Amino acid sequence: MFKFLRKYDKWILAIGGSLLLITFLVPQAIQGLSQYSAQTGATWATVGAPPATLTAGEADFFRRQVRLIDSLGPQNMLNRIGAGSDPAHWFLLLREAEAAGLIGGPGSGLIFAQQLATNSGEGITPEQVVVLLGGQAGLSYPQTLETLAQIQGVGRLISLVSSAGRFSDTRLRGTAARKSLGVAADVVVLDARTLESIPVTKADEEALVAQLTSHGESLAGEGDQGFGYRIPDRFKIEWMSIPRSEIVASMDDDPGLGPIELRKAYQRNPERFGGGSISTGSTSGTFATRADKVRELILADLVDARMQAIAKFADDRLQFPRRSLDRRGLHFELPEDWSTRRLALSTLATDIGEEFDIPAPAVQQSSEEWLIAEDLRDADRFGLLSNASTELFGRTRTTTADLIPALKEFGGSDTIPVQAFVSLPSLNTPEGDLVITRITEVDPSHAPTDLEEVRDEVTADLDAILRYETLVQSMPEIIGTARTEGIRAVANTYGAPVEFAADIREANLEFLLQYGITMNSSIPGIGNDAEAIAEVVNRAIFLDPTRPVADQPIEDRVFAIELPERLAVLVVSVETLSPLTQETWARLATNPAPLQTALSRDLAPFDPAEVFGLEALSARHAFELSRVSDSDEDEEFEIEDSTGPVESTG
C-alpha cells in the first residue's frame, strides 16, 4: 500500500488538491453567480405605456456603448447634447431612432468606421478603428459595429428633425395675413423725453448718482431704454482745403492751353474730342469747331495732374520727419518732442503756395469743444472736410468720419493704419478738392469721473422716467378720452401732434416676394419700431375686414400701447384696413420660400439639446429610472466590485 502511495504520490496530491480546491470554491461561485444574476436581472428603468422593464444587465451594455460615444470626442453631436455621459439618454435616443427605422446594419457601422479612419489622418484601416473603439469601451467586434451603426442612425434622426419644415400651410397663410395686413390710423405719440406738459419733481442727488452708476458704462442710446452716459471717443482736429476751383483759376495762362498745344492734342486723338479718326484726314479742318471742347478736356487733365502733384508734395513733406521713427505694428512710436519735430500745417500751406504759385491754403482748427466722429459729417461746420474721403483702404471710399474710430488711440484697426498727431492720408471730395488733415488731441472713451460731466443728461433722463410713469398711471384716462372725445383731445391735452400713418404693416410684400426681406413700415414719431408695429397689427387683426372700421366697436379700433423701451405711449385710432387678398396669397403660395424664410426669423432656432434632451425624451417615452439616479447605481456596483457583497448580520 505504501509502495503504491509512494509510486503515485504526485498524481494523488494533484488530483486530491484539485478536488479540495473545487470543494472550497463551489459555494463562493454559486453565491457569486446568484449575486450576478440578481444584479443583471434587477429592474433599472421602465419605459412606455404600458411600462416595459429594462434590466440592469441591459443598462450595463448601454454604459459600454456610452463609453464608446464619449471616446468620439466633444465635436460629435451626441456628446454635445449630453448622450455621451448618460446611458438613459442614449437609450432613449436609440429607441426613437429605431422607431423611425433609421438604424442600419453592420455595414452602416463599417462605413462610419471608414469615416473615422479617414478623418484621423493616421493611415489606419476601418477594422483597426472598430477594434480600438471596442477595446476602449469593452465591446466585442460585432457589438462595436452595431453601436457605430446605431450612432449613425441617431445622427440621421437629429439631422432630419433639424432640417424639417416647421410650418404648415395654415401657419404660412396666417403669417402672410398678419405680415401683410395694412393699417391706416391716426396716431399720437406721447414721448416722455419731450413732453413738457407733464410736471415733474426735481430729482435729488442720490437718485442722480444712482442713475449714473447704473448706466455710466453704456454709451448714449445703447443701454437699457436708451440710457447711457459713457463719454464717447473725442478729438480735436486741424485741416486745410485746396479747392479744385482755385487750381482751375490759377491755370488760365498755362502754356499747355495755348492754341498750338491744343491743336496738337486734338490731332493726336481727335476721337476723344468728338472729331473724326486720324485716317479720314479731316482733323485739321474740324479743330476750330471743337476748340472749346478740346480746351475743356485738356484743362481738366492739367488740373488733375496739378492736384496730384500738390497731394504728393504735401505727403512727402509731412512724411519726411517720420522717416527716422520706429514702428510698432502699423503705427509709429512717437517721441516726446514730436509736437516740435512734426511739420506744422501752416508751414506746409506756405510751402504749397510758393511751390505751385497759388494762394496759401487757410489752416482751420476745431474749436476748444471736443468733437465726436459724427460731427465731421456736418457740412455747415466743416465744409469740404465733411465730404472728403480716401480709397486707400478698400473698394468703398473711407470718409474722415469713418477714419476716426480706426485711430490707434481709440482701439486701432488691423487694416487702417491711422493715429493721432500724425497727418491722415490725403483726402479728396467727389468734386476733386484736396483736404489735408491731422488729429491734434484725443480723449478716448471712458465712464464719467464725476456727475457734473453729465448732470444735464442724467437729469433729463430721470425727468423722462417720471413723466413716463405718470403716463402709464394715466392710461385709463388717456384711452377713455380717446374713445369718448377723440384722439385729437388727447393730443391737445399733452401738446402733442396728431399724425396720420397711412400704411402700418410688418412687411412690404413686394420686398418679401422679391428678396425675402420683411421690411416693415414706419409710424410717425416712432419710426420702424418693430415691436410697436407688431402690437398695432396684433390689435387690428381682430377687426372684421368685411365691415367698415367705423361700424365696429370703438374698444377694438381705438387703443393705447405702452412702449417702455422708448419711454412713450402710442395712442392709435384705426381708420381703414388693407387685408391680404386672394391674388396676393396666390403669388406667395407659388413661391413660399421668402415667406418661410421670414417666418423662420420669427421662430427660435432649432436646438437639438432641447428637442433631444433627456427631459424631453423622458416625457415623450414615459421613461422612469427605478433608482434615484443612474450614478447611484454605478457607485453601488463599484463598491461591490471592490469590497465584495455585504452580508447581513441579522
Q: What is the model's pLDDT at position 224? A: 84
- The grid coordinates of residue 108 equal 452602416
User: Vertex 291, ends 288 and 296: CA angle to 5°?
Assistant: 175
Sorting pLDDT into bands at 50, 70 and 90, what band is 256? confident
The answer to whether the bond into 243 is cis (omega within 30° of 0) is no
Beta bridge partners of 393: none
The 10s digit of each residue's pLDDT in 160-208 is: 887 765 556 666 667 777 777 889 999 999 999 998 888 888 888 899 9
CA distance to 29, 42, 554, per residue, from 181 (Å)? 80, 62, 19
Contact in structure between 528 and 537 (CB atoms under 8 Å): no
The 10s digit of each residue's pLDDT in 82-104 is: 888 899 999 999 999 999 899 99
- CA 439/CA 326 separation, integer angstroms: 20
Q: What is the model's pLDDT at position 635? A: 41
Q: Which of 554, 589, 592, 596 is nearest to 575 (CA)?
A: 554
Cβ atoms within 10 Å of 543's Cβ, excluding its own: 19
Strongest mean pLDDT among 18-32, 502-516, 571-585 = 571-585
Q: What is the model's pLDDT at position 24? A: 61
- CA 281/CA 54 separation, integer angstroms: 103
The 10s digit of each residue's pLDDT in 122-173 is: 788 989 999 999 999 999 999 999 999 999 999 999 888 877 655 566 666 6
More confident residue, 81 or 39: 81
CA distance to 71, 261, 397, per residue, from 83 (Å)? 12, 85, 52
pTM: 0.59
Contact in structure between 420 and 409 (CB atoms under 8 Å): yes
Least confident residue range of 464-473, 564-573, 631-640: 631-640
DSSP 54-104: EEHHHHHHHHHHHHHHHHT-TTSHHHHTTTTS-HHHHHHHHHHHHHTT---
Q: What is the model's pLDDT at position 438? A: 96
